[in-house]
């Protein structure tokens, strides 16, 4: 008897799920839903990345990995309605622009060296899958515990790739105030990473003057 493939990326009825359902499942932690998102949108996003980078030496695969990781982190960290295809295309465009502007342009910052293995792990690579999942839960949890405006600012800058002035406009605040939100968010995440490594409890983010 043939053994059934029970990996997160095994074929499933998710192929018939609409985008709204996929997003809800990803936000609930269903890794198979993220695999379906990847299967559904990778071809068109790869074409977009190749078109944007056609005159540059950058590898579109790097842009795609950054973009899918960013999308996963953003979907898990923030619960708001999105038009999935347009949103994913925006992330790829912003990532490609980052790569064109600077030689080492990956902007997925929080714990990025360790969590960049997320996408291949979820796509079926068995190596260290459990460790990757645990690290991702820790990072997503740390972002989710930030005060709301810090979390939104961080997700829109680091995962959606929006310029800070655009983040500020979306939050209805000034660019300097947005930089302050981002500084506090980055500081809290960095401190909590150190605390995790030392086996200490994480601290909640300081809202400070987030209402500004």
**Where along the chain do its domains lie?**
16-197
The larger pLDDT score, comparing residue 122 to residue 24, is at: 24
The region, left, alpha or beta by phi > 0 then psi within -120 to 50, assigned to residue 202 is: beta
Q: How do residues 142-177 score in pLDDT, each as one tens digit?
A: 788 888 999 889 888 887 888 889 999 999 999 999
Q: How far apart are CA 114 and CA 116, in angstroms?
A: 6
Tell me: the pLDDT tens digits for 46-104?
Answer: 999 999 888 777 788 888 888 888 888 888 887 888 899 999 999 898 888 878 777 55
pLDDT given for residue 192 in this prediction: 75
Within 102-174, residue ranges assigned H as helices are 112-115, 118-122, 129-144, 148-154, 164-171
What is the structure's pLDDT at 63?
86
Q: Which of 3-7, 139-143, 187-191 has the highest mean pLDDT?
A: 187-191
Secondary structure percentages of the chain, helix, strand, coil, to 5: 65, 0, 35
Res. 133 pLDDT band, cuts 50 70 90: low
- Encoded tokens for 150: 């810090």
Q: Coil, helix or strand for 122?
A: helix
Mean pLDDT of 110-117: 41
Confidence grade of residue 206 (pLDDT, cut at 50, 70, 90): low
């Amino acid at each position: 008897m043939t053994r059934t493939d029970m990996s997160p990326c095994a074929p499933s009825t998710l192929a018939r799920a609409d985008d709204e359902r996929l997003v809800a499942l990803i936000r609930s932690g269903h890794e198979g839903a993220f695999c379906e998102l990847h299967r559904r949108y990778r071809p068109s996003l790869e074409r977009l990345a190749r078109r944007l980078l056609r005159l540059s030496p950058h590898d579109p695969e790097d842009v795609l990995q950054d973009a899918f990781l960013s999308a996963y982190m953003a979907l898990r960290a923030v619960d708001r309605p999105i038009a999935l295809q347009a949103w994913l295309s925006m992330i790829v465009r912003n990532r490609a622009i980052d790569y064109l502007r600077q030689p080492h342009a990956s902007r997925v910052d929080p714990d990025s060296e360790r969590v960049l293995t997320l996408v291949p792990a979820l796509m079926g690579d068995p190596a260290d899958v459990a460790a990757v999942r645990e690290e991702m839960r820790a990072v997503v949890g740390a972002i989710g515990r930030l005060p709301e405006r810090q979390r939104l600012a961080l997700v829109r800058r680091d995962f959606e790739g929006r310029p800070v002035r655009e983040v500020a406009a979306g939050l209805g605040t000034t660019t300097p105030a947005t930089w302050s939100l981002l500084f506090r968010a980055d500081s809290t995440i960095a401190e909590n990473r150190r605390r995790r490594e030392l086996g200490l409890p994480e601290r909640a983010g300081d809202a400070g003057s987030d209402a500004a």
